[in-house]
Amino acid sequence: GEPSHKVVRTAIHALARMQHRGAILADGKTGDGCGLLLQKPDRFFRMVAEERSWRLAKNYAVGMMFLSQNEEEARASRRIVEEELQNETLSVVGWREVPTNPDVLGEIALSSLPRIEQ
């Protein structure tokens, strides 16, 4: 098929109609979440890499990491990820914090909110 943003809009619309499947808590803002699996936005990640002076190979991967808000624990987790990737002859060109909007979260979700990095 042809890539189209219409497919993404339709999927988001469908997810909004399935709130009853999302285990929403009494605060009306905390749930188990859902998402969409999309093609990696190569142009976007190349722009991010360029802004940070990172060199991306022709083929690369992006990992979503859910880390502790505690900086020391997050640093330890990053180190473990990098070591394990090196064991597989892979390397990390850099880390970035993923922009989020915690204002839309309920108190319960905020209390366990991870630091999300790529």
pLDDT of residue 20: 63
| Full pLDDT tens readout for the chain, 118 residues | 777 889 889 888 887 777 666 667 777 777 776 778 888 999 999 999 999 999 999 999 999 999 999 999 999 999 999 999 999 999 999 999 999 999 988 888 899 899 999 9
In this structure, what DSSP letter does residue 114 have? P
Same-domain pairing of 76 and 24:
no
Number of domains in the chain: 2
- Strands (DSSP E) found in the chain: 65-67, 115-117
Between CA 94 and CA 96 the distance in angstroms is 7
The reported pTM is 0.79
Q: Is 82 helix (H, G, I), strand (E, B) or coil?
A: helix
For residue 72 the two structure tokens come to 């020391």
Same-domain pairing of 74 and 100:
yes
Same-domain pairing of 49 and 22:
no
Phi-psi region of 23 (alpha: psi -120 to 50; beta: other; left: phi over 0): left
Same-domain pairing of 64 and 106:
yes
pLDDT of residue 19: 67
Same-domain pairing of 47 and 33:
no
pLDDT of residue 86: 98
C-alpha dihedral sign at 86, 89, 95, 100: negative
Same-domain pairing of 58 and 106:
yes
Residue 112: domain span:
40-117
Q: Is 29 helix (H, G, I), strand (E, B) or coil?
A: coil
Same-domain pairing of 61 and 78:
yes
